[in-house]
Amino acid sequence: MTPREIAPGVWWLPLGKGLRASNVYFVRSDSTWSLVDAGWAKDAPAIRRAAESLFGKDAPPASILLTHDHPDHTGALRELAQLWGRTAWVHPRELPLALGDVQAIHRYAGPLDRWVILPSMRLMGSRRMEATLARTSLRGLVRAFDPAAGPPGLAGWDALPTPGHTPGHVAFIRRRDRVAITGDALVTVDVNALRGILFGEQRLSGPPWYTSWSWERAKASTIAVAELEPRVIAGGHGVPWTEQPTREALREFLKRLDA
């Protein structure tokens, strides 16, 4: 779990294995740096050590940015926010989910939520369900940024709304060289095929359909990212694609996605 530089000023830290694998990114911007995503709860020590190895012990990030509110991307936020004295930024449409709003949780539930998670929580009874939601809420830890103003702390980057996996999913694109930190909107491990899920087969993929709120919107967002022809694809899962993807490879992926 050593951070690896995948583009000038952008480091990738892989965390966990198999179904528990997730990526976080450290981005230098001028004299400061930012963290993108926060892994699972158990990943806080590894993220802290990586940050210290890159930037020193007394150098907290200028900002923490979340691509979306899923536990494999926000798990370590509470511990890191307390350590660094920072709150995290999310897209405005993601804020209700991040704050644990019950109506938003039901409205934006993916298939796995509707079929398994929410029915299991209902069996707990209303009080235990509310207590569980309160524990997972990021209230006091997140706030919304203005997408038109760009991601806080990342000068020269754009925030590209990529809804579908969640309503406020966002990708971050560096304008000068088209480095794309894509969260789950576009990943490099096939999370929608058994070989990818079990063995980590590396190929471009959209987000997992079983945890996506709207597959049609997710597909449109994946296409929007791919059509930018990013030079580096740094997804939330899988090894970042650091070789410039050919137009032919991206076209082939888009055909497969459409099918």
**What's the Rg (C-alpha) of the chain?**
17
The alpha carbon of 248 is separated from its chain's Cα centroid by a whole number of angstroms, namely 26
Q: How far lies 238's CA from each of 35, 50, 253, in Å?
A: 18, 19, 16
In a domain, 221, yes or no: yes
- Total number of domains constituting the chain: 1
pLDDT score of 81: 97
Residue 85, C-beta contacts closer than 8 angstroms, at least 6 positions apart: 60
Q: Work out the pLDDT band at 135, boundaries 50, 70, 90.
A: confident
Residue 21, C-beta contacts closer than 8 angstroms, at least 6 positions apart: 14, 15, 200, 237
* Half-sphere CA count of 17, side-chain side, radius 13 A: 2
CATH number of the domain where residue 232 is located: 3.60.15.10
In a domain, 204, yes or no: yes
Q: Can you read off the two tokens belonging to residue 82?
A: 């307390």
User: Within a 10 A sphere around the Cβ of 139, how many other Cβ atoms?
Assistant: 10
In a domain, 123, yes or no: no
Domain holding 149, by residue range, is: 4-99+138-258
Phi-psi region of 70 (alpha: psi -120 to 50; beta: other; left: phi over 0): beta
Q: Can you read off the two tokens belonging to residue 99?
A: 């704050």
In a domain, 235, yes or no: yes
In a domain, 131, yes or no: no
In a domain, 128, yes or no: no
In a domain, 129, yes or no: no
User: Within a 10 A sphere around the Cβ of 145, how many other Cβ atoms?
Assistant: 21
> Over 80: is that where the pLDDT of 126 sits?
no
In a domain, 112, yes or no: no
Amino acid at 256: R
Identify the bridge partners of residue 64 per DSSP, sorted by sequence position: 35, 88
Identify the bridge partners of residue 88 per DSSP, sorted by sequence position: 64, 142
- Residues 214-254 have pLDDT tens digits of 999 999 999 999 889 899 999 999 999 987 666 777 778 88
pLDDT score of 156: 95
Where are the strands (E) in the chain, listed by range? 4-7, 10-15, 22-29, 32-36, 63-65, 88-90, 142-144, 157-161, 170-174, 179-183, 187-189, 202-205, 232-235
Pairing, β 187-189 against β 202-205: antiparallel
- Residues 29-88 have pLDDT tens digits of 989 999 999 999 999 999 999 999 999 999 999 999 999 999 999 999 999 999 999 999
Q: Which one has a higher pLDDT value, 198 or 36?
A: 36
Q: Which one has a higher pLDDT value, 118 or 62?
A: 62
Q: Work out the pLDDT band at 28, boundaries 50, 70, 90.
A: very high
pLDDT score of 245: 67
Mean pLDDT, to the nearest integer, of 111-123? 87
pLDDT score of 246: 64
- Residues 145-194 have pLDDT tens digits of 999 999 999 999 999 999 999 999 999 999 999 999 999 999 999 888 87
User: Within a 10 A sphere around the Cβ of 44, how many other Cβ atoms?
Assistant: 20
pLDDT score of 120: 86
